[in-house]
Chains A and B, each alone.
Chain A
């Protein structure tokens, strides 16, 4: 089996003149992808077809939308905006008159190619007859290389006119088409959370869905309680303002299981914040130093076993990708050394529940790499920042998006680089990388993917493939297969 490579699967393009796209987020069920950026809009795409389903633009946001996050149940979005506010939107099917909607068949303004196609201009449809090499340019060169271009147009137009189904997009049962196109989506504003004194850099729902964490250039992290999935703005209440960082907080991430947050800051540190189980107060339980510049992004290891605490991944302006490990406190270490393996699992489990303020956490660097290691050696061309890192859902790989334009994937345990894609966004800086939340690409997803996976797997039969999404300064989001 040859080395892994990142193969471009889809390109999500809206023609707003190459405005920086900052963030891309998969919905929890991996059906939808949301993007947002400096064009002051947020867009929601069907992750299977690359079809633009809806969004908010047209002046609703006066400043950059920096991140977008999905709620646990997948019906709400939290948007972090440079105007200092966090907005919560509810998704609904169908085209409503209330919110500004980007419809898939809009002729998008600013398209330099001036094509007047009325077909879903945001669509990049994988046509099985052409194969993976096809890159569809939406308004520009048309569906390049598409032997079945007329068929593609007809299929999308027909689906666009179809009645609106009421459930989540699914694969069609009759097998006539590889996927069923989702109807238009509308976003309704539920709540506007104010309080941060400057740009909000990140907003993220907890895995449980009961909390929302936000962070800002005002150096603080705020914790909000979310009510049930209702429409009421009073569902959201700020329960903690966490001060400690001495500079902007660039981004944050939730621990997969605990009520715990890691925040990345312009002050070159990562801070971990926990909720004390005794008095319910949030406090800073650790400060991780080791980056030589701004820490841009953090991600926890998904919990894949009980044998160790989730590790932490960080990426920074010093071009480094770092994995941190929690050092077991001495008291538990003594206990573990006397116990059998079964008992040590038990004591670890109790360790998981007993964090409190009196127990100091110490985190150590497990490994670190320079993202552009093979380009180093020129003193005047220092490392370029790593803007975004993420951990694969299976736990085996970590990915890094870099200012040098590359997306790289590393083995999470050996730190070896397993795949890289330079010029991932036409040479532009890559701002965000996110693994698809589910490991296995459904076998019946698309003929083109199945064919390609089979070609790569050879005799190995059914093979898992990982998918990543990235967003870049070229204004596009791209979906990649790790094969």
Chain B
């Protein structure tokens, strides 16, 4: 595991025990999209702690919601402390992980006919991811939310070698910590 030179913001986080049984729901192919997305982000390791985002309650199954016309999937995460300096990193990890899992294609099929275009066939529209910090849970929740939803900023950040390496460290699929969770 990478060691950080700066002390973590939260040296003593609250770690929740995660039930293994709750894992079965998200794996079936016909599970709802929100469940499938939660399934891939729950095990992202927090940048500062040897615990997953689920264990630290940074994300919960309720964190992932769909909008009324299924145009967006929203992931709302709660940093462990209001001044957490790794909040942006967590958001980047969530974005990268969902992109890697290819759960939300960003390109659809070629338009079949022009008539469908005129009707504004919303069923064919793609579903897109939005990531935000839960309101008020971070001192900079608005600024961080804005940059996590600026695709140019996100792209540039993930092109940065050092940031990319940190993101990869966090999202590499690994089983949660041993049964004696601290």
Q: Which residues of A contact B (CB under 8 A)?
A: 5, 18, 20, 38, 63-64, 66, 82, 135, 199, 201, 217, 248, 250, 266, 293-294, 317, 374-375, 378, 380-381, 404-405, 421-423, 425-429, 473-475
Contact = CB atoms under 8 A, between A and B. Distances in A.
Given A428-B107, A473-B106, A405 B156 contact: no
Contacts of A217: 153, 156
Contacts of A381: 67-69, 71-72
A20 B156 CA distance: 12
Contacts of A135: 110
Contacts of A421: 117
Contacts of B110: 135, 426
28 contacts: A5-B114, A38-B155, A63-B156, A64-B159, A82-B159, A201-B152, A217-B156, A266-B150, A266-B153, A374-B120, A375-B122, A380-B67, A380-B68, A380-B74, A381-B68, A381-B69, A381-B72, A405-B125, A421-B117, A422-B120, A426-B107, A426-B110, A427-B109, A427-B126, A428-B126, A429-B151, A473-B106, A473-B107
Given A250-B152, A426-B108, A428-B126, 9 more contacts: A64-B159, A266-B150, A294-B146, A378-B67, A381-B72, A422-B117, A425-B107, A426-B107, A426-B110
Nearest to A22: B152
B107 A18 contact: yes
A405 B150 CA distance: 16
A426 to B, nearest CB: 5
A380 B65 CA distance: 11
Contact of A423 (B74, B106, B117, B155): B117
B11 interface: no
B156 A199 contact: yes
A423 B67 CA distance: 20
Contacts of A426: 107-111
- Chain A interface SS verdict (over half): loop
B111 A378 contact: no
A422 B151 CA distance: 20
A310 to B, nearest CB: 27
B124 interface: yes
A427 B125 CA distance: 6
Contacts of B146: 293-294
Nearest to A250: B152
Contacts of A82: 156, 159
A63 B157 CA distance: 11
B107 A423 contact: no
Contacts of A473: 106-107
Contacts of B74: 380
Nearest to A475: B107
A423 B156 contact: no
A135 to B, nearest CB: 7
B72 A429 contact: no
Contact of A63 (B111, B120, B159): B159
A428 B108 contact: yes
> Which one of B68, B72, B109, B156 has the greatest number of beta carbons of chain A within 10 Å?
B156
